[in-house]
Amino acid sequence: MLVKMPNVNKIRGRRQADGSRRVYYYHRPTGLRLPDDPTSPEFAARLRELNGDLDRRRNEPGMGTLAHAITAYRASPDFTGRAAKTKKDYIRYLDFLKEKLGDLQLASIDREAVLALRDELAGKARTADYTVAILRKVLSYAGDRPRAFLLPQSWSNPAAKPGRLARPKGHRPWEEYEIAAFEKAWRHGTIERTTFALYLNTGQRGGDIPKTNRHHIAAKQINVCQEKTGERVWIPLSDDLSRALRAWMKGKGKDRVYVLAGKKGEPMGVDYLRHMMRDAIRGAGLPDDCTLHGLRVSFAVRAHEWGLSWEAIADVCGWETMEMARKYIRRHRRSRAVITGLDEANRARREDRNGNVLQNTADRAAKR
């Protein structure tokens, strides 16, 4: 008599030399191996135990939901081992996901639901993509622990590679004339010029500079602890940064422990600093795509044009900026190649002694 056994997965092994094939039995929801003989009392007892445990866990409030996974993820080393700023950024999105989809069973979240969430936030492309990226991390964490989150063995992460929304281009480096315009508008001794010089001459991220204090500046170098990587880097002071710091520390910043300090002496918050610099940039008559982060890219571009290797620059300011800087330099090289070609063609026309207009440099070469 054929008896249907719930939650049992039967797998046939390779054919043996005698033509027989061994059969293996697994508990489908948990992936645990069952006894080899499905007619034995031990098989039936183990199956009842696993199914009963599964039923009990399913009846526990919130078990196997996205909220359950988010709570577990936040308590795990995958989350707690990250930098403070990264954790702060993650929490914002984890809280949103918990409120939005927290009651859903993980096994019920499919790709269509993920794309619907992304498209709902499409008005802010970066927010939409980052939300999906955080969801992908949580689901990946749960997927590695299927028994804990009641996931079937065949489950796959629905947030994997959903495609990114079109978005504005990244922060661009400042042009040299824009740097000159800002420096003309904000003289040495102002907090705006000091902030500008710090970011332009160190290539650091937004949150790395505000915690810099007087003790971090000595022997013609500045040392910065990067929040994202936890690494401390030592950067020689350029002449421009030295002048800016001297003017600031002898003037309004002379009694401040932190170089960029608020009214009560505490380090400026990153958001306050960005708003202050946005107003300063507009005050200098510069466009909104001149950003504080763009100065970081400018540092990388300048450093490479002065002959530093990408590896050396990466040690100071990180790989994210490197890719933007590479693209920018490639564009500049192409532009220079175009102008060089045009200049050569124009010279060819002027140098034609017979008065014939040469169409291109190939014509010039052929005439010679």
Read off the pLDDT band of 170 (50, 70, 90): low
Read off the pLDDT band of 180 (50, 70, 90): very high
CA–CA separation, 314 and 203 (whole Å): 10
312-341 b/e with 16+ CB inside 10 Å = b? Answer: ebeebbbebbbebbeebeeeeeeeeeeeee
Percent of the chain with pLDDT over 90: 25
Three-state SS at 225: strand
| pLDDT at residue 171, as a whole number | 76
Amino acid, single-letter form, for residue 245: L
Tokens for 208?
């790395």
DSSP letter (8 states) at residue 267:
B
Q: Are 107 and 152 contacting, i.e. CB atoms less than 8 angstroms apart? A: yes
| pLDDT at residue 182, as a whole number | 95
> How do residues 236-278 score in pLDDT, each as one tens digit?
888 898 899 889 888 887 778 888 887 777 888 888 888 899 9
| pLDDT at residue 328, as a whole number | 63
Tokens for 183?
């420096």
Cα dist from 230 to 154, 200, 215, 313, whole Å = 38, 21, 19, 17
Q: Is the pLDDT of residue 315 over 50?
A: yes
- The burial class, CB within 10 Å (0-12 / 13-18 / 19+), for 187 is exposed
Q: Is the pLDDT of residue 57 over 80?
A: no
| pLDDT at residue 54, as a whole number | 67
Q: Is the pLDDT of residue 211 over 50?
A: yes
| pLDDT at residue 208, as a whole number | 82
Q: Could you tell me the pTM of the whole model? A: 0.52
Q: What are phi and psi of 27, to 5 degrees?
A: -80, 115
Q: Is the pLDDT of residue 365 over 50?
A: no
> How do residues 70-111 score in pLDDT, each as one tens digit?
999 999 989 998 888 789 889 999 999 999 999 999 999 999
Read off the pLDDT band of 127 (50, 70, 90): confident
∠ CA 296-88-72, nearest 5°, is: 135
> How do residues 330-359 score in pLDDT, each as one tens digit?
666 566 666 677 777 777 776 664 555 445
- DSSP letters spanning 28-70: TTT-PBPPS-TTSHHHHHHHHHHHHHHHHHHHSTTTTBHHHHH
Question: Which stretch of DSSP H or E encloses residue 111?
Answer: helix 111-120
Amino acid, single-letter form, for residue 134: I
Can you tell me the mean pLDDT for 190-211? 87
Q: Is the pLDDT of residue 299 over 70?
A: yes
